[in-house]
Chains A and B, each alone.
Chain A
């Protein structure tokens, strides 16, 4: 068995089979179980290393050839695959509770497998094409057949499509820059094209206007999945660029530009979140602020860039899954996520409301929650480098905290006579309960992530130097 067949072809084929053969009722369990098994295999069996299971020798070969190019995983990819498929399992198990299992699991599996292929493809810049194909597969998730597509979806499609040519062409130009590093003109052009490509992909200010729009017009669970999966793989793709091209890491102007883009996203995301009257849009702005943090880290002069990035990405996956699941439960009852519609729901949906508040607080970096250790580490790095950057990040995080407080105030704003009740189903309560416990565990015992994080810097071993 080769690694690309196991982690790319198998989930893709399973997605196709689930779409055509399996009933909606069982798809969540099938997709979730498959993803969990793939995560466990990635964790237990090292790639390209022979292992003895009793009398049987097992070895997962690292690569396959496809149309003259190779798809290749290294031994260091194991923890990354475990994280990706572990978090994907969480999302797929949650589909039944969210009531969005229809096509979610099958398309989700195909999307995750295509994005996993983007990590493995050589030359790595071809990943831009796989990201684009995955983005197109997201569209049926966001727009059910009975719903007219809104502007957010259309803008999402346009921006993702515009990103691909910029990335592909800049990749070709970067090869020229490597050959003649003194050519300032080519270097500037390549840097500008690469920057534009990633600005579209990561929805850098002002290109993030589709995110809040999408959160209003599409299912919160599908939108949340999109906001988890695409930025995660795009950030890994961006780290690949930083790792391979030394001048990207060492040019001070470029580092400043990356930092500026990140800080602007954190500050604007936080401030705009605090001004919203729609809890779906708040999630959108919170993800924008967090993507800003990821971009900011890439611009920081530190040997801990990879560790910090993954220290954010793992809790982000959990917090977003819990938040999106809780929102979709609330939306099924309230039909709209505006403040006026969800007012007082803390008494009728206490678990879902608790999950929303805890996830929101986790993304603000509230102590004891999953986002806190990562924020603490980032503050530590930023404090030593730039006071103004630290202040702007603080403003952004404060904005998110204000948004969480306003949300909580609206949820508990109710007449005294209204009785408490548990309207969530047992599946919803267990999924949200487990998620909330996970948020506390990751916040209080971040060292449990160490087995995953320990080997990840090997994937980008030149960044840390």
Chain B
């Protein structure tokens, strides 16, 4: 019972952090929310995976947050740049999108539980919320840091659900590498173009 309550609290945390990532314009708050989100992801994956394998996701996630944060911290020129001009950019629009994701999750969770018995409602709800939030995020932005956040959020949601059906060490390792890779690629794309050309040969 106590475990279930903590699991539902983790789902609540996921809803709060993913909404914050979607609506905030401050990259520090976004990355902070992502770091907190990984705690909830760790808890929900640990419902089906051993503690050590669940903690791999937490550590890999925090490493990604650190990599993206360190990179973004060094890019002061980006602070002055205007954000992307995709038209539905208002906070209310994004909140409504998250509301739709939440409603879809509420509707889909019992159906998924019926199709795949034994996953547990909090695990399914947490996973679907993150997948939905990630996809919505990818749909409303083309800014590099936000794309990385959207992909990481979507992947975290998938990992929660997939951990319940596949407990292979190799898969856990590869998924951790994928997360780290996304963080590194995101960091690389952020700094690409900000360094001057060193020599003519590089042309």
Contact = CB atoms under 8 A, between A and B. Distances in A.
Given A145-B192, A148-B192, A149-B189, A161 B171 contact: no
A133 B195 CA distance: 25
Interface stretch (A3-11, A81-89, A124-132, A296-304): A124-132
Contact of A158 (B138, B177, B193): B138
Contacts of B74: none
Interface in A86-130: 102, 126, 129-130
Interface in A127-177: 129-130, 132-133, 136-137, 139-140, 143-149, 151, 153-154, 157-158, 161-162, 164-165, 168-169, 172
Contacts of A148: 192-193
A189 B111 CA distance: 13
Interface stretch (A63-71, A268-276, A357-365): A63-71
A172 B189 contact: no
B101 to A, nearest CB: 16
Contacts of A153: 189
Contacts of A146: 192-193, 195-198, 202
B202 A133 contact: no
B168 A147 contact: no
A69 B168 contact: yes
Contacts of B197: 146
Given A139-B189, A153-B189, A165-B158, A133 B147 contact: no
B158 A154 contact: no
B79 interface: no
Q: For the side of the interface on A, what is the size category?
A: 35 or more
Interface string A46-58: 0000000000000
A59 to B, nearest CB: 26
B165 interface: yes
Interface string B2-45: 00000000000000000000000000000000000000000000
Contact of A126 (B144, B158, B171): B171
B121 interface: no
Contacts of A165: 131, 154-155, 158, 162
A109 to B, nearest CB: 17
Interface in A217-258: none
Highest count of chain A CB atoms <10 Å: which of B165, B170, B196: B170
Contacts of A126: 168, 170-171, 174
B1 interface: no
B124 to A, nearest CB: 13
Nearest to B150: A158
Interface string A170-190: 001000000000000110010
Interface in B85-100: none
Contacts of B178: 129, 132-133, 136, 164
A148 B174 CA distance: 29
B182 interface: yes
21 contacts: A67-B168, A68-B170, A69-B168, A102-B202, A126-B171, A129-B175, A132-B178, A132-B181, A133-B174, A136-B181, A136-B182, A136-B184, A143-B188, A146-B198, A151-B142, A153-B189, A158-B147, A162-B154, A164-B178, A165-B155, A168-B158
Given A136-B181, A146-B198, A169-B162, 7 more contacts: A68-B168, A146-B197, A153-B189, A164-B178, A165-B154, A172-B162, A172-B165
Interface of A: 66-69, 102, 126, 129-130, 132-133, 136-137, 139-140, 143-149, 151, 153-154, 157-158, 161-162, 164-165, 168-169, 172, 185-186, 189
Interface of B: 115, 131, 138, 142, 144, 147, 151, 154-155, 158, 161-162, 165-166, 168-171, 173-175, 177-178, 181-182, 184-185, 188-189, 191-193, 195-198, 202
